[in-house]
Amino acid sequence: MAHAAPASRKMITQRRRPDVFGPRVHAAVKVGLPVVLGLVYGFWAAANQRHGGPITGWNLLFGFVTALVFAVLFAAVCALAPRLPRELHALCWFVFSGCAVGFLYSQTGASVFSSSGLGLLVGAAVLAMVFYRYYTHEDAEGRRIG
């Protein structure tokens, strides 16, 4: 009868998930994701600002400027945040998501307090979620596991 050969500890601890996509796909997503999300965010902000009215040139300009700012900030957070410790990494996403949601809500004509409150609420939920994820996927020194 045949038996399986015992695996070394090194082999057991270094089990990694396969990288399904190649380097070209990762490069395309690194550029394409901020652009697509920025365009969606800019369209959403412009639609909120005009309150269902006609599309004007200023509204288009506002949408494209908002999309550009969102895309640049999203790309910056995606590039900068992984280099930070888990607490600052989560805090970076808290600030970005809270500001993004608060700004969108403020374009509907809501008050500053309700926009800030919603931004803080959404940001706190994102903070808890990403901190838990980074805390459970890193070792004590802050290195990513697997």
Structure confidence at residue 9 (pLDDT)? 60
Binning pLDDT at 50, 70 and 90, where does residue 122 land? very high
Do residues 92 and 138 both lie within one domain? yes
Residue-by-residue DSSP string for 82-114: GGS-HHHHHHHHHHHHHHHHHHHHHTTT--HHH
Do residues 74 and 96 both lie within one domain? no
Q: What is the mean pLDDT of residues 60-65?
A: 95
The answer to the question of residue 2 being in a domain is no
Q: What is the mean pLDDT of residues 82-98?
A: 91
Q: What is the mean pLDDT of residues 120-131?
A: 95
Query: In the listed set 66, 83, 100, which residue is the last one of a domain according to the structure?
Result: 83
Does 111 score more than 90 pLDDT?
yes
Structure confidence at residue 14 (pLDDT)? 60
Structure confidence at residue 11 (pLDDT)? 56
Indicate the number of domains in the chain: 2
Q: Residue 81, SS3?
A: helix
Do residues 31 and 72 both lie within one domain? yes
Structure confidence at residue 38 (pLDDT)? 96
Distances in Å between the Cα of 45 and the Cα atoms of 3, 53, 54, 60, 63 are 63, 13, 14, 10, 6
Q: Between 101 and 137, whose confidence is greater?
A: 101
Q: 1-15, 16-30, 120-134: which range is least confident on average?
A: 1-15
Q: Judge if pTM exceeds 0.85.
A: no
Structure confidence at residue 105 (pLDDT)? 95
Domain of 37 in residue numbering reads as: 24-83
The answer to the question of residue 5 being in a domain is no
The answer to the question of residue 13 being in a domain is no
Q: What is the mean pLDDT of residues 47-64?
A: 91
Mean pLDDT (the chain) is 87
Do residues 54 and 79 both lie within one domain? yes
Percentage of residues in the chain having pLDDT higher than 90 = 59
